[in-house]
Amino acid sequence: MKKILLWILTLILLLGSVSAININEDLNTETVSHHGITITAPNEIVCDWRDPESDYKHCEVILEINNTNPIAFPLTKFKILFRHAVKKNKVSISYSTDYVLYTEPVLNITCYRNLNEEERLKYHENKTKCYYNVTKKSFYNWKTDRIKKIPAETVVGLKLEFESPILIENGRYLKN
């Protein structure tokens, strides 16, 4: 799955060299920016095994694409890249420009790692010391018609759904 996220984040390379790559351990996200286009993706794609009779898990990832440019960003090459990355499995792509903002407390991992044993015990009792609030977007009204461009000066949620094979090695399920 990590390979797929690398493919997703390299779509920004279609525009030229990357200006900034940011890995946020606290939010478990990776963000790539270049010339007014920012793409944020989770570090891992979450998959669930919906049908015990199936050899595939259903996977979903939501990307946040922020186009601050005064012109639209074409998605044609991105779709081709993503399909190649998941080895031509069926990929469902939907998008939304509708979202609500909400605040969520997030653990500052660096702060937590720097706590001594006594401070960690206190942390587990009240869970306030190493937290900070983050504003996030929750997209809704997903559309399945074709989106060819990210409109100018717009934030778009791009939902990618696909099937991933369940891998077994030496009688154990592998994380994929």
Q: Which residue has the higher pLDDT, 176 or 117?
A: 117
What is the number of alpha carbons within 13 Å of residue 171 lying toward its C-beta?
A: 0
pLDDT digits (tens, 9 = 90+) for 141-163: 999 887 788 888 999 998 988 88
Token output for 30 = 């990776």
Q: Are strands 154-165 and 56-67 parallel, antiparallel or unpaired?
A: antiparallel
Q: Which residues pair with 65 in a beta bridge?
A: 39, 156
Q: How confident is the model at residue 115 (pLDDT cuts 50, 70, 90)?
A: confident
| Reported pTM | 0.74
- Average pLDDT on 40-63 reads 84
| Contact (Cβ atoms closer than 8 angstroms) between residue 73 and residue 149 | yes
What is the rounded average pLDDT of the residues 71-94? 63
For residue 130, what pLDDT is reported?
83
Q: Do the beta carbons of residue 123 and residue 107 sit within 8 Å?
A: no
Name the band, by pLDDT with cuts 50, 70 and 90, for residue 83. Answer: very low
Q: Please determine, for residue 11, whether its predicted confidence score (pLDDT) is greater than 80.
A: no
Task: Quote the pLDDT of residue 174.
Answer: 67
pLDDT, the chain, mean: 78
- What is the DSSP annotation of 61-99? EEEEEEE-SSS-EE-HHHHHHHHHHTTT--EEEEEESEE
Report whether 83 contacts 90 (CB < 8 A): no
pLDDT band at 19 (very low <50, low <70, confident <90, very high): low
Q: Residue ranges of the alpha helices (H) in the chain?
A: 2-10, 76-85, 109-113, 117-126
The stretch 28-48 carries a mean pLDDT of: 83
Confidence of residue 14 (pLDDT cuts 50, 70, 90): very low
